[in-house]
Amino acid sequence: MKNFIAFFILLYTCNNALSQNTAAKTVVSKDGYKIDATIKPYKNCWVYLGNYYGKNKVLADSAHFDENSHGIFKGQNKLPKGIYFFVTPAHSLLFEILMDDAQHFTIVADSAHLENLSVTGSPDNEIFAAYSRYLTSIAPKLNGLQQQLRKATTAADSAAIQQEQKKINKELNDYRDNVIKNKPESMVAAFFQSVRTPELKEWPKKADGTPDSLAAWRYMKDHFWDGVNFYDNSLIRTPFFDPKLEDYYKYYVPADPDSIINEVNYMLLMSRAGKDIHQYLLGKFTDKYINPEIMGQDKVFLFLFNNYFSKGDTLWLNEKQRKYIFDRAYSLMANQLNEPAPQLVLKDTLGKVSSLYEVKAPFTFIVFWDPTCSHCKVEVPKLDSIYEAKWKALGVAVFSVNTNENTFDEWKKFINENHLEGWHHAWQAREERLADEQSGVANYRQLFDIYQTPTMYLLDADKRIIAKKLSLEQYDAVIEAKLKTKTSTQ
């Protein structure tokens, strides 16, 4: 399954790379773009022009450089705005430029002396080139200080180095602030605004005079996106927007699904005026929450599906992506946390009806498994061990479902050989599944999102789902936590 998810993400990345170039071609312009470049020492070779796209780098154009290290990048239609870069024939990045409204300009550079980089004909690029030259002058200092810091042997030495680092970083921030102040309408100023992080002038304090870390966190969160326009399509073609986005959700957004939903919905609504960035954000959030790392966050994906994909935000998807998103949504709708689990009415090993909701227990543990699955052969006996050692005494019931309709004899053999006693064993024969399909009855594989085995759920006494897709150790911890909570409230 991991490989399939990776394939989906790759499809999404490639599709967006293609869609941004397609979008560029639809912006008809009489002038198009023309970048006249002389970059030493590259002669009689191809040099490439690329751009950022979130975490990825995309090829935008290429030009053949002649005996005089001269080449021209040109096209009939303007390129999407953002930060672009030149790439050598050996595929190493040379230096960056801006692609703004003025897409007719001249560049003169020497890869051995980038501090002399010159751009004419583009005011934004002239500002950006000056900044690049400035970075070239201070980068060696910062790198040298970082190396010194690693080798520092005393606290005093470390403090002195850090103070020097702080001084240079302040100079860098002052440089950016001056551009924002003096060239507020420039593309460079907009990017500097976007990349800056909030700075606490004074640490807030509680009424008793102690530092108030919560107030400091709230201030950082409230000002994290100051100066950022979420409808600005150029942001996605920078190397800093995606990392900033990830930092925000990692450090400033609580992990509960409702908090995340509030944030992603705000960003998506704000970005609607910028088609490219809206699609990018919707795709990024979908990738992150369609199979989340934290239990319950798939609720965020369902919100995206119900409020965006199912309402028509699908034209930019290819057919494989669209099918995968819709299939995943339909597989998650019936098994959300704190919602009642779907009913299971199957047959046991003797052919008698076995109903999930007829099982009365403070906790019901459902395990969907396949007796021929190598991972199941390890996990199911482990489950029985924890059941016999602990859960049985706590009244936990195990409802075990064989998902392989072709292994009735092997299933019974596995149960007997591993002494899986006290469980509720059930399965669905092939003819029963086909009958359900003909009748339009949803299959339990979809209702419980079973795309791998074993798949496990923990239900409370009312058959509400309280945990899913965890390890056995984590399920045990959930049961302990629930029992402690119940004891403390009695």
Q: Are residues 372 and 465 in the same domain?
A: yes
Query: 300 versus 137: which is more confidently predicted?
Result: 300
Burial of 258 (0-12, 13-18, 19+ CB in 10 A): exposed
**Which residues does 319 contact at the CB level (< 8 Å), separation at least 6?**
none
Share of the chain above pLDDT 90, in %: 74
In a domain, 79, yes or no: yes
In a domain, 379, yes or no: yes
- Range with lowest mean pLDDT among 29-38, 39-48, 279-288, 459-468: 29-38
144 vs 162: CA distance, rounded Å: 12
The CATH number linked to 104 is 2.60.40.1120
Burial of 204 (0-12, 13-18, 19+ CB in 10 A): middle
pTM for this entry: 0.84
User: Which residue carries 């150029």 as its tokens?
Assistant: 234
Going by their DSSP bridges, the two strands 455-459 and 363-369 should be labelled as: antiparallel
Domain region containing 323 = 228-332
pLDDT at 65 over 60: yes
pLDDT of residue 31: 80
CB 251 within 8 A of CB 218: no
The secondary element (H helix, E strand) that includes residue 283 is: helix 275-289
The mean per-residue pLDDT over the stretch 110-130 comes to 91
Alpha helix ranges (H) inside 152-207: 155-182, 187-195
CB 399 within 8 A of CB 344: yes
Q: Are residues 379 and 483 in the same domain?
A: yes
The mean per-residue pLDDT over the stretch 411-432 comes to 95
In a domain, 211, yes or no: no
Q: C-alpha distances in angstroms, 77 versus 215, 274, 302, 469?
A: 49, 19, 38, 49
- 3-state SS assignment for residue 19: helix
Report DSSP letters for 195-251, one per residue. Answer: H-----SS--B-TTSSB-HHHHHHHHHHHTTTT--TT-GGGGGSSSHHHHHHHHHHH
User: Please, which contacts does 185-189 make with residues 24 or more away whose CB atoms are closer than 8 Å?
Assistant: 186/123, 186/124, 186/127, 187/81, 187/98, 187/100, 187/124, 187/128, 187/234, 188/98, 188/124, 188/127, 188/128, 188/131
* 8 confidence band (pLDDT: 50, 70, 90): very low
393 vs 84: CA distance, rounded Å: 64
pLDDT at 19 over 50: no
pLDDT of residue 198: 86
In a domain, 156, yes or no: no
The CATH number linked to 354 is 3.40.30.10
pLDDT of residue 9: 33
CB atoms within 10 A of CB 240: 13
**Among the listed residues 440, 337, 448, the one whose alpha carbon sits nearest the alpha carbon of residue 403:** 448
The mean per-residue pLDDT over the stretch 168-186 comes to 91
Q: Are residues 373 and 481 in the same domain?
A: yes
pLDDT of residue 138: 87
The amino acid sitting at 128 is F
Going by their DSSP bridges, the two strands 345-347 and 93-99 should be labelled as: unpaired
Residues 279-296: tens digit of each pLDDT: 999 999 999 999 999 999
Q: Are residues 256 and 363 in the same domain?
A: no
User: Which residue carries 């003797």 as its tokens?
Assistant: 350
Share of the chain above pLDDT 70, in %: 93
Partners of 53 in the beta sheet?
56
Q: Are residues 291 and 359 in the same domain?
A: no
**Among the listed residues 170, 174, 270, 262, the one whose alpha carbon sits nearest the alpha carbon of residue 228:** 270
Going by their DSSP bridges, the two strands 82-87 and 93-99 should be labelled as: antiparallel
The mean per-residue pLDDT over the stretch 468-472 comes to 94
Q: Are residues 49 and 84 in the same domain?
A: yes
In a domain, 190, yes or no: no
**Which residues does 357 contact at the CB level (< 8 Å), separation at least 6?**
343, 463
Q: Are residues 402 and 297 in the same domain?
A: no
Q: 105 is written with which tokens? A: 């300009």
Q: Are residues 401 and 292 in the same domain?
A: no
Q: Which of 133, 160, 189 is the last residue of a domain?
A: 133
Q: Are residues 350 and 412 in the same domain?
A: yes
Q: Are residues 274 and 399 in the same domain?
A: no
pLDDT at 72 over 60: yes
Partners of 424 in the beta sheet?
399
The mean per-residue pLDDT over the stretch 459-466 comes to 97
In a domain, 393, yes or no: yes
The mean per-residue pLDDT over the stretch 311-331 comes to 89
357 vs 345: CA distance, rounded Å: 9
CB 85 within 8 A of CB 97: yes
The mean per-residue pLDDT over the stretch 441-469 comes to 95
Q: Which of 299, 332, 365 is the last residue of a domain?
A: 332
pLDDT of residue 452: 93
In a domain, 214, yes or no: no
Q: Which of 79, 105, 133 is the last residue of a domain?
A: 133
**Among the listed residues 189, 272, 275, the one whose alpha carbon sits nearest the alpha carbon of residue 228:** 189
Q: Are residues 381 and 430 in the same domain?
A: yes
pLDDT at 152 over 90: no
Q: Are residues 21 and 86 in the same domain?
A: yes
* 30 confidence band (pLDDT: 50, 70, 90): low
132 vs 177: CA distance, rounded Å: 15
CB atoms within 10 A of CB 397: 20
Residues 132-151: tens digit of each pLDDT: 888 888 888 888 988 898 88
- 3-state SS assignment for residue 264: helix
219 vs 5: CA distance, rounded Å: 37
Tally of domains in the chain: 3
End-to-end CA distance of the chain: 43
The mean per-residue pLDDT over the stretch 423-447 comes to 92
pLDDT of residue 27: 41
156 vs 262: CA distance, rounded Å: 46
pLDDT at 490 over 80: no
In a domain, 178, yes or no: no
Query: 344 versus 201: which is more confidently predicted?
Result: 344
